[in-house]
Every structure is written in C-alpha cells, then in structure tokens.
Amino acid sequence: ATSRLLVNYQEPYRSQILDYLFKPNFGASLHILKVEIGGDGQSTDGTEPSHMHYENDENYFRGYEWWLMKEAKKRNPQIKLIGLPWTFPAWIGKGENWPYDYPDVTAYYIVSWILGAKQYHDLNIDYIGIWNERAFNSKYIKLLRYTLDKHGLQQVRIIASDRLWEPISFVLLLDSELHGVIDVIGAHYPGTKTVQNALLTKKKLWSSEDYSTFNDEVGAGCWARILNQNYVNGNMTSTIAWNLVASYYEELPFGRCGLMTAQEPWSGHYKVEAPIWITAHTTQFTQPGWSYLQVDGHLEGGGSFVALTDGLGNLTIIIETMTHNHSQCIRPPLPHFSVTPQRATFYLKGSFYMVETLQVWHSRLGFESGNSSLFQQLHPLKVWKGSFSLDLNVDEVYTLTTLKTGQKCGCPEPPPPQPFPSNYKDDFNIRNPPFSEAPNFADQTGVFEYFINASDPGDHVFTLRQVVVHRPITWASDADQTISVIGNFQWVNMTVTCDIYIEKQRDGGVFIAGRVDNGGIYVRRTQGVFFWVFADGTYRVTGDLAGEEILMKGLSGVRDNAWHTLTLNIQGTSASGLLNGYPLWENVTISKPSNGWAAIGTRSFEFAQFDNFHVEA
C-alpha cells in the first residue's frame, strides 16, 4: 500500500516520477515491478482492494496496481511483472483466517487476477508468489501450477516462499514434484547470505524483498552494498527493493523507505533520492537475461564487485566500497567489517581480452562533506593488454562497461514542498473516476470506494462507501473497525464535517475523527478523538479506535438508512460535536494525542456511506 498518494499527482509531475522509476536509460531504469495482489487487508501502510471482494464479485479496475503496471510497461515493455498476495478476502477461507483449507478456491482466485491482468489491461504477469512472509502449502503450490497450465498460463513462473530460505529449500530437496513446479526461491532480507540447501536445489535464488531502509545516503549505501553482495555472498541474481516509491503519509510505518519520495500530490513536490542513482549503476548497464560471471567478487581492501555479460561480447563491472556505518540496512543486523582505500587491478581474459576501453560511471556518497556526487560519467578507461587498475576510495560505486547507452536524465525541478491544504473538501461527485478510491484517503482497515446511489433522490447520488463486510484473511493486525485517514499528521486544532449514512440495522455505526495518531500495521492501537453514532440512536466520544476509552456518551436520535451530518471540533484540550448542525455534546477534555490526521470509518466490517467531507485545520 505504498503507492497510494502517487496516483493523484498532477501532470507533468506524475509522469516525471514514473520516468525516474521505469524509463530505460533515464533514472532507476527498473527491470522488475512486483505488486501486491490486493486482498482488502492491511499490508503495512494501508489496505489494497481485492479484485473479488465477495465470491460473486469480479472487478479488475480497483486500486492503483493495474495503472502502475501499465505505466511501467508503457515506458519499458521488457519489464518483468510479479504478483504476490499479502491478504485475502474472507470468502477464500470460508470463515477461517487461513487461505489453504480450500486450495482450489485460492488458486482460482489468484489465476483470475492473472487472467484479468491480460484480458482488461493486456498485461502479462511473469511471476506469481504464494503468500507474503507466511506459511506455504505444497498441495496449494502444485494446484496453482496445475490451474495456471489449465488456463494456458505455462509462461507464468512460480516463486516461493517470500519468507526465509527454510523450510522451502529443504522441502524442495525432498519433494521432486514440488521441485518441478517452483522456478525461483525468493527469500526476504537475507543479509546477503544464502544456505546450503538453497544452493543444492539448483534453483534461481532471489532476494525477493530487501532494502526497506530510510532513503537518505545511508539507505543508498545499504542498497549499493546489497545489490552487489547478494550475488557475491549469496548467489542471488535478483534483488527487489521494498518499496518502489515512498508515496504514503510519512508518519505511517517505515516512512520514506522507498527508492525515491513522492508523498505530496497536493503540491507536486517529489525528491529523486540517492538510491535511484545507485540503482542506475546496475540497471542501466545490464538487463534480465544477462549472466553473472562466476568470479570471487570480494575486494582485498573491503567492498565487492560483480561482472555481468550479455553473452554477445558486452561486459559490465559494478564495484562498491561501502563502509559499515554508512551502509546499514534496517534489517538484519550487519556484522562489523572494514573497508580502506585501495588500488584494484582487474584482468580481462578470454573474449574480453579484446576490450580496449570501458565507459566509467561513478558515485561517491558524501557523509562527512554532506554533498554526494551521484551517477557521474567520467573519462573512459583505457584497457592495456587485458588489464587496468583503479584507485578506489571508501563509500564509492563504479560502473565500468562496454555499453555507451547510460544517461543521467533530469526533469525540471518539481514545485517546493507544501503542507496538506488546511481547508480541504471532497464531495465525491465524479461520474467516471479514474481510480476506485478518492484521492488522499489512505484506508487502514476496510476499503472505501466511490459509489453511485441509483435510488437516491439527488443529494447523495455520488458517495464514498466502505465495502468490506467480513474480516479478511489478515497479514497484520487489522482493526475490528474500518478506518481511512487523511490530511496532515501535524494538525492540532481542526473541524471535521461529514455526511454519514449507516446501512447496517440495529448494531451498525460510523465515526468521524481527528488527531488520529496511528495506522498501518499498528492500526489496532490507534488513538485520537472519535465521534461515533450508532443505528440504535446512541452516540459516543472515545479516545481510541477500539472504542474502549469512553469520554462521553448519550442519545442522538440517529437511525440507519438516513443521512445525517456530523461535525467534530477540536480546539486545544477541548472537543465538541454537532449533529445536523446542532450541538450534541461539548467541553469534552482531550489530553492525548496532541496531533494527528482526520479520519472516517465504521464500527465493524459493514456497509456505510460518506459524503461532503470537509476538514478545516
């Protein structure tokens, strides 16, 4: 759920960001895009909608992943696409929080997503995963392969298990049928190391999720080190960064852990961070299908190098000399090592003996000076009788290559940063929205979608509706309530107004909220000021999403299947609430939290509608 805010950037800024990520020989020139197969559940920084909320429901236009894959393919038709589920809609488990009890149902659901990608978006999915960082099930994986083949999807490869090297590697060595259907072993945050069993399987080994580090210079150092050392130490021929672009509210978990930052669609501001240019050192001078040369890539003075070829005479060498303290990733812990300035001599043999010059691209991460030099082209290097020497300093990256295609492209400077608008309105009146979700709302439990009320007399034809009515098969600890947050986390004083419509009779309920202090994987412990109304005609004011800290309660006269207007006013240490423009409660004392987002949501997984949202802060 990390590209949430990217979709509503205005042009030309949105296309510029996408160019930096995907356009060949421009910026990061990415080779692979891995997307979440939305399952209506919390997956770290929010929920992503499923293509099948309910058993009899199919819609291949929800969320933003279809759009993102198409934008990537538009720029680089060769980019590889991977899909992986974190969560699943409730009906997959028929009431159990487990996707493998009915493996045929799960396989049908996943294959439907792959078929929908092709049918509705002309996207060919190259790889499919099992269940992110959770248990795998051998019977399910075999059934998935069978279902793929049955639908003519022989070219879709299976990657497993997006967790650790074990037990998947051990099981592959024991189960020859499973060995026959899994193409890639993908491990997460392997710390550049693999295990003997993984090597014994003779499968491709990938670091299928890595990085996850704040995107400053240290994050760039982390990325430079693991891009090389995942192969040098661990034989991994692919490294995939979580996440692509930090396009989610920065105060959510793992803020700014993307290759670049684009979290201000309202201003158009974005930042091409150092990891983009570190990526270019590898991606602009290699392609999927190139092979790593099997050399020992450890440098004597510390650091590493890799060498790759297309088998047609081209050669690319990438060198990194990252020091320990300047290249620590978020996980796993990094054992101490030392790197010193050194002169390295390389010998080109065999067919590479004929190479006379190499193009040189260089980055130096400046920690002491504070100014880095990123992805600069230097004078070509002369190769003398198959050898050359290079003086290497610490915290540097070099690419030496026979290719002359590298480019450091730049767009005009984006607009300066601005806080979220302090006066923000959305009436959701849009007949053919480009996306299924309203801009800037970041769903943290449940899914809030544009809805057309065909039966409404006119005031509330176009609304926002919460549509997840059963708790999904979860990956994180989703709340028992649904919630979508919006705005500026630094907001202190605010007035939130919204028209609400409870659809669930008897025990239905909805809320509006301010100073909301949490989300993502921590959504269950969210605090704030929550103003609830219920279908039984009562109201409550609570200091938490769970509704346990009751600050005020009473009768409101609100009923289900009717529109009402709620207003929540928070000033300093005091809050008050209005119903349909008339005071309902006041002078409720607020001690914590001191600031946070605005939010809307429901008492449980239930249908409810919202309209004419307005916040003034």
Active-site hit among 133, 251, 503, 616: 133
The number of residues making up the chain comes to 617
Query: pLDDT tens for residues 453-481?
Result: 988 888 999 999 999 999 999 999 999 99
Query: Is residue 525, in this structure, part of any structural domain at all?
Result: yes
Among residues 520, 522, 513, the alpha carbon closest in space to that of 551 is found at: 513
**For residue 264, what is the domain's CATH number?**
3.20.20.80
pTM exceeding the 0.95 threshold for the entire prediction: yes
Residue 443: the pLDDT is: 98
Task: Quote the number of domains for the chain.
Answer: 2
Query: pLDDT tens for residues 423-438?
Result: 999 999 999 999 999 9
pLDDT tier for residue 243 given thresholds of 50, 70 and 90: very high
Residue 87 phi/psi, 5-degree rounding, is: -135, 170
Residue with the two structure tokens 């091409």: 272
Answer yes or no: is pLDDT of 97 > 80.
yes
Percent above pLDDT 90 for the chain: 98
C-alpha span between 39 and 335 (Å, rounded):
37
Query: Is residue 294, in this structure, part of any structural domain at all?
Result: no
> Which tokens go with 587?
């002078």
pLDDT tier for residue 581 given thresholds of 50, 70 and 90: very high
* DSSP H helical ranges for 37-167: 65-75, 103-121, 138-150
Query: pLDDT tens for residues 560-569?
Result: 999 999 999 9
Q: Which of 239, 270, 301 is the last residue of a domain?
A: 270
C-alpha span between 104 and 119 (Å, rounded):
22
Query: Is residue 222, in this structure, part of any structural domain at all?
Result: yes
Residue with the two structure tokens 């290699």: 286
State yes or no: cis peptide before 416, omega within 30 of 0. Answer: no
Active-site hit among 48, 209, 217, 606: 209
**For residue 542, what is the domain's CATH number?**
2.60.120.560
Query: Can you give the residue range of the structural domain that contains 530?
Result: 423-616
Per-residue burial over 392-410, b = 16 or more CB atoms within 10 Å of its CB, e = otherwise: bebbbbbbbbbbeebeeee
C-alpha span between 269 and 262 (Å, rounded):
7
Residue 455: the pLDDT is: 84
Residue 40 neighbours by CB under 8 Å, 6+ apart: 47, 48, 49, 50, 53, 87, 89, 446, 447, 468, 472
Query: Is residue 328, in this structure, part of any structural domain at all?
Result: no
Residue with the two structure tokens 């279902």: 147
Answer yes or no: is pLDDT of 602 > 80.
yes
Residue 153: the pLDDT is: 98
Residue 371: the pLDDT is: 87
> Which tokens go with 407?
């480019």
Q: Please compute the mean of the pLDDT values over residues 63-88 and round it to a whole number.
A: 98
Query: pLDDT tens for residues 521-549?
Result: 999 999 999 999 999 999 999 999 999 99
Question: Who wins on pLDDT, 410 or 487?
Answer: 487
Query: Is residue 45, in this structure, part of any structural domain at all?
Result: yes
- 209 tagged catalytic: yes
Residue 409: the pLDDT is: 84
The chain-wide mean pLDDT, for the chain, equals: 97
312 CB burial (10 A radius; 0-12, 13-18, 19+): exposed
Among residues 335, 333, 304, the alpha carbon closest in space to that of 319 is found at: 304
Query: Is residue 323, in this structure, part of any structural domain at all?
Result: no
Residue 480: the pLDDT is: 98
Q: Which of 270, 289, 323 is the last residue of a domain?
A: 270
Q: Which of 228, 248, 270 is the last residue of a domain?
A: 270
pLDDT tier for residue 300 given thresholds of 50, 70 and 90: very high
Query: Is residue 382, in this structure, part of any structural domain at all?
Result: no
Query: Is residue 317, in this structure, part of any structural domain at all?
Result: no
Report CA-CA distances (Å) from 255 to 137, 215, 485.
Answer: 33, 9, 15
